[in-house]
Every structure is written in structure tokens, then in C-alpha cells.
A and B are shown apart, each in its own frame.
Chain A
């Protein structure tokens, strides 16, 4: 166990090192320079560009820039090229904005997909199962931005509540209850959108796991003993079908930093995804690289956690 942890730590550190190199190279070798983003701006005189390049070490060779960048990142001194603010603080603020979306979305995904998937598996081939299957294909296939507009039209025309942004502008003087409802309305639609794909995929997965377990001998034995069907389904089958999902807790970790670029820009939600999008447009390399680095760390940590969880819950796996 300890040797497994040690080995995978070393391996993941090496992977992370290569990720940092690859992402750095992708960004810096691409055509165009951040100093040329706005050539028509009269304030961008050649002297300004020169000063800009010097200030951010753009005149140095690539490997020197690489070392400077990661030194700044690890000492926390890294600043955005656009407004000279600390990148880590900026990311933290945006992260706090994205967090409610992520939490509500995850809760929706995990609470809705299990009942749907289990019911589909129990009534396999029935009307419920077939319509749930078709619905989940539909949800996987619908483009997020199109679905967003359908929901906006529905909510705005039937319920007459504003949904764009994090809160309604100029609502400061109203009562506490109104403010709360306002916040909830603004939060609900983006999180539902963020959860749809997850619900569709996860409920299919729950269904196939349940079907697999229901075909096992011990379930047949339980049925043959004359146990009530509910007990067979929910005690004997479900408990064993849940095993792979424990490991998926680790895999939702990367979603923390992702934030959906498209959904956040439709709803003008000042979260991580939108910040990354704006940084890409402005060629703000420090922000792009830092977001990339943190998300790589989260992916690696997620797989690590899921490996460990598998070790803990599945007694058949011994290292």
C-alpha cells in the first residue's frame, strides 16, 4: 500500500512536470505574441511594446521564461499581464463564484441519476426504461448553448424571473426573502444545465451496472429464497452495483476548476470558465497557464483518490 502510494506519487509528479512543459510550449510556440494583441491601439507605441516585453521577460529565450514562470507560480508572485493583479487571488475570487454552480450541479447529478438508472434497470425493456434511455440520448446530444436558450425562453416567458448574471442589478433595497429567491433563480438554471450531461451519462452507467449485478448468481439465490423483490433489488443488488461509483467521487474533482466556458458566458456568470475565456482572448498567458496547471493537478489528484478509494472498498484488490 505504502509503496503503491509512493510509486504513484512519483509517477504523477513526472507527469505533471511534462504537462507543464507541454502546455508552456503550446502557448508560446503558437503564432502571434501577446504584445501584438491590439496593434491598432494608439497607446501601443513600439517603446511600450518593448517595455512590455522586457517587463514580462518575453525577450528572453524560452527555457528562461519557463523557469521564471514556474518560479513565480510556486512563490505565489505571479501576476496577470493585463492588469498586474495577482493571478492566484483572481483565480480564487472567480473560483468562489463558480463553486455554488459546481456544488448544486453535482448534487443534482448524483441525486437524480441513481433513482432513474435503478428504476430503468429494474423495469428493463418497459416503457419507463425505453423513454428514460431515449431521453438520456437526447440530453447527451443536445448542444449546451441551445438547451440554455430553450430554458431561458421557458423560464422568462412563463415565470417572469430574470436569470442572467448572478443577481438582479439594483435589487439592494428589497427584502431579505426576495434577495434569496433572486439568488436561487439565478443559480438554478446554469446548474441544471451543468448537470444535464452528467445525469444522462451517469444514469446510463447506473443502469448497466445494476443489470450486470442483477444477472449474478447471488441475486438469483436471493430471489429463490423467496425474499421480497424490494429487498433483493435494494439490498443484494444495489449494494454491489454501487462499488464502481465510490471511485467516481475522485473523478468529479477536476470539475471544480473547469467551469463551463459556454454556460458561464451565456449567463454572464463571473466564474472560472469565463475568466479563462477572457484570458484566452486577451492572450493573458499567466492566467491560461495557471488554470491549466491547477486543473492538471486536480485531474491527477482525482485519479489518485479514486485508486485509493478502490483499494479501500474492494477487498479483491490487494497490492
Chain B
């Protein structure tokens, strides 16, 4: 009774925080919990995998070639008499069999797990960062206009950069100098107020920032994504980092649209006006006040983006691009094994099922998160 009176009379914060509430809703979704558990397991496997398979004398050597032991099915014991003591697999058994060079598939899967994990996370990290940055600018500063003189300065600077990279140092640095002078001049005129005013034509409003960013999104969406990634990956030198960067830089458009839409509605809300009235700086408003409120749909799309990135990386490895050969990835184990598909089906099925399970867990987790964040469901809880 007294407790009831207390809650009625004093205005207090909700007893459960938002995160707690989210977790309660999320817990009801069994598939999503399964996804979360598999994700944690996969994460631990990948981290222990990179520790156990790297270094001078790794515990599991993914590159150890034993030609006399090739294409052994899973769970076979090695022929101890024909092997050098250092060549015997650590577990004393080929857990996942061996491939056509007699390499231990279990060790190779461990090594490949790390590639899948990092490619997924770093690529999505890049795309989310770019997406939040572009979307935030488009949503928050979208109504500002770019004037002709900005374009002019940008043009001079980029021309200078191009000339420098081509090799004509004289004219290049001249252009860069002129551009920098213009920027300094603009900054000065801003500080000194309206006294130093350049001609009126240059201050004509040309195009809004929102338009520029959204048209850039449209342009990027015109490219067929897998084909674009394939083209760029084939042209740049093969390495894991290039793949991450390329996947990240070709998948930020969705996040940009989400964040922009959220920001457009958030910037009209009272707490933003209040923060502005208190004199909080623009970037503090964006990152401290608005971003936490806009991050929910980004989180969901990022989780599903990780799944897509892992699939893309596997596809690239399968086609023979990507991480260079001695290093194992799940895609290239499968691609190497496809020649022995009828004799050694485990070379296809083990990495294939591995990819399937990991991608599935990210998809289930992301969908569970989306359901839990759905306001229609939240009111019930």
C-alpha cells in the first residue's frame, strides 16, 4: 500500500532501464537467443583459433603438408608409423579429416574462422562509420547550402592534388597554395564578420548538402554490388585488409538513409532545441544527444550486414580472390575441395556448414533485435 502511494506521488524514473527492457523482450525469442549463443561460441573459436594457429610453432599447424595422409575422412587416426613425430596432429586424430595435400582441415577451419570474423566486423564497422557520418551530416546540416565559392575552392584543391599526383609539382603546388589561401581568406572573413565580403555571385546558393549526399547514395546504389566488389578486389593487390575496405566502402548506403531519416525527425524534438538553447556545440548534440536515439535501427542493419559481409567474403574466396593462398579461409577450403566433391565430400560440407551456421546466427540475432526494438511489442512488456 505504501509502496503504491510512493510510486504515485513522486515522479520517478522507470524502474527498468531501456536496456533491461530490451533484454527481457529479446529473451523470449528462442531463435535469437540461439543466435547469440552461437555467436559467442564462434567469437571464442575465432579468437582461440588465431592464437593456436599463428606463431613460429603453432599448436595446430594449418600449413603442415603430409602427402601420405591426403584425403582422409573425418575422425580418422593418423598412420603413426609413416609420420615424423612433429607431424602428428595435436589432437591425435583428424577431427575434420585432411585435404588433398594432407593438411589438417580442423586447423585450417580454426585459422579461417578469424578471417570470417574480422572481415565481417571490420567491413561493417567501416560501412557503419561512413554511413553514420554521411547520414548525420545529411540529416543535421542538410538544409545548409553550399555556395559557389566552396565548390570553386574544392575544385582548385582537387585540381592541385591531381596535378601533383600526375607529376607536375610546380603547377600542382601553386593550385594547392591558391586553394589554401582561399580557405584562410574565408575563415578570416568569417571571424571578422561582414567586413570582408567577396562578390555576391560567389555567395549564390548552389546546392544543399542533403542533396549532394543523397545523390551520392543514389549513384552508389546504381552499381551492382557484388560485381563492383569483384572488380575492385581483382584490381587492387590481394589482401584481407583490401577486402574489408572494399566491402565496407560499398555498403554504407543503407545506414546513411536510416540515420538521415532518424535525424530529420530527431532534430525537430524538444530535447535538441533545449540542448541548442543551452549553447551545446553542434557535434556534441550530434554525438551525445541524437546518436544514442538513432542507433537502434543501425544496430539491427549492422548485425545483418555482418552476415552479408561474411557471405561476400566467402564468395570472393571461392572465386579465388581475396586472402592469398597459404592462409586458409572457409571460402577457399571449400573452393579447393570442390574438385574432390564425390570422393571427399567433407571438404565441401564442413566449411559450407560452418559458413551457414555463422551467417544464420547473425541473421537470427539481428531479426531478434529488430523484433525486440519494435515499439509495438515494447508497450506490452
Contacts and interface: CB of A to CB of B under 8 A. Distances in A.
Interface stretch (B102-110, B134-142, B153-161, B341-349): B341-349
Interface string B158-175: 000000000000000000
Given A142-B356, A292-B227, A295-B227, A22 B348 contact: no
A138 B360 contact: yes
A277 interface: yes
Contacts of B234: 280-281
A189 interface: no
A258 B235 contact: no
Given A143-B311, A153-B342, A280 B230 contact: yes
Contact of B352 (A32, A149, A152): A149
- Which among B221, B222, B223, B235 has the highest number of chain A CB atoms within 10 Å? B222
A152 to B, nearest CB: 7
B307 interface: yes
A145 B312 CA distance: 11
A277 B319 contact: yes
B222 A134 contact: no
Contacts of B314: 143, 145
A87 interface: no
Contact of B227 (A146, A261, A281): A261
Contact of B360 (A141, A152, A280): A141
B201 interface: no
Contacts of A276: 227
Interface string B217-248: 01101111011101110111100000000000
A157 B345 CA distance: 13
A137 B356 CA distance: 10
Contacts of B218: 15
Given A143-B352, A277-B230, A277-B319, A152 B341 contact: yes
A234 interface: no
Interface in B314-354: 314-315, 318-319, 331, 334-335, 338, 341-342, 345, 348, 351-353
A31 interface: yes
A145 B315 contact: yes
A288 B232 CA distance: 11
A296 interface: yes
Interface in A17-53: 18-19, 22-23, 26-27, 30-32
A137 B367 contact: yes
Given A30-B236, A146-B334, A296-B222, A141 B31 contact: no
B359 interface: yes
B284 interface: no
A143 B331 CA distance: 10
A254 to B, nearest CB: 7
B360 A145 contact: no
A280 B230 CA distance: 8
Given A30-B235, A143-B315, A262-B315, A149 B230 contact: no
Contacts of B351: 146
A143 B355 contact: yes
Nearest to A144: B315
Contact of A258 (B221, B227, B356): B227
A295 B218 CA distance: 14
Given A254-B224, A292-B223, A137 B364 contact: yes
B363 interface: yes
B304 to A, nearest CB: 9
Contacts of B215: 14-15, 18
A295 B307 contact: no
Contact of A295 (B224, B319, B331): B224
A166 interface: no
A146 B319 contact: no
A299 interface: yes
Nearest to B358: A141
A146 B359 CA distance: 13
Contacts of A104: none
Contacts of B318: 143, 145, 262
A1 to B, nearest CB: 22
B352 A146 contact: yes
A140 interface: yes
A280 B215 CA distance: 27
A291 B231 CA distance: 12
Interface in B29-51: 31
20 contacts: A15-B215, A15-B219, A26-B228, A31-B236, A32-B235, A137-B364, A140-B363, A141-B363, A142-B352, A146-B334, A146-B352, A146-B353, A152-B341, A153-B345, A258-B224, A261-B226, A262-B319, A280-B231, A281-B234, A295-B223
Interface of B: 31, 215, 218-219, 221-224, 226-228, 230-232, 234-237, 307, 311, 314-315, 318-319, 331, 334-335, 338, 341-342, 345, 348, 351-353, 355-356, 359-360, 363-364, 367
Given A143-B356, A145-B334, 18 more contacts: A18-B219, A30-B232, A31-B236, A31-B237, A138-B360, A143-B331, A143-B352, A145-B318, A146-B351, A146-B352, A146-B356, A261-B319, A262-B315, A281-B234, A288-B231, A291-B227, A292-B227, A295-B222
